[in-house]
Structure 1
Amino acid sequence: MLRKKMNFNSSLKGQKGFTATGWIVVISLLLFFAYLGMILSPYIIGGYTMDRILEGLKEEPNITKKNKREVWRLIENRLTINQVRSVTREDFEIKKEPDMTTVYIDYEDRVKFAGNVYIVIERSKSVELFRDY
């Protein structure tokens, strides 16, 4: 029996470039991640805004002398100015001590992705505000 020698080079010469199916897969993946980025970017920016708001409380003069209501009013004003609407008063906890005030925030954003699929973004942060001398 004679075996026929196969020439693999001739079959590879006909395959040049991407197929239509390959392009569809690549474009679909790019569109998926672009859509995901467009959906999540406002929530990610909102998270950074919350970090800035809490860190900005450190620069507030005599913050430890203020009561909880006054501290909340400062936070609420900054939330309004920065147009953060996903955070409520119930998401915050303010603890007062003689020389320190601690502000905790713990909340989650639920982003509707497609149909009944949601993306949940959980955030928690605390900031310790010390007395100015």
Structure 2
Amino acid sequence: MISDAALHEAAHVLAALGHGIGVLHASIDEVILRPPGDSLERGRHHGAVAAGYGITALAGGAAAPGTGLSKSDELLLERALFLGSWSDSPDEMRRALSALADSFAHDHRTEIERLAGILEQRHSISGIEVAEIIEGWSRDR
């Protein structure tokens, strides 16, 4: 059986990668992402980077609803809202990003469960291993 913790962290990983955010390390307890500056230096718009980080922060709770947001998830979401500097209120943006995170978790449920199973077995994987796993899935199709 796959734990909610593994589902939560797998969703963070896949949401990050799906939004062009690098993953440095993933474990059953946390995911370490590349800082937003890396994306901005590659010419991505602040709003797109901010939305990606916001969706990533909320994807874990969307995939495993009972888990909520950790302190690091909250911090990532706050940074995303600051980085986006949207004209809408933070509460409105959080609701909008939550809807996008819910949609992401629903649309990618199979991949989230697959990666969660790997996290459950290994407990910790590097960003390079994550990339190799995802690349392997693409070759299997």
The structure with the greater share of residues assigned to helix is: 2
Higher relative contact order, chain-length normalized (CA < 8 Å, sep 6+) = 2
TM-score by length of 1: 0.28
TM-score by length of 2: 0.27
The structure with the greater share of residues assigned to strand is: 1
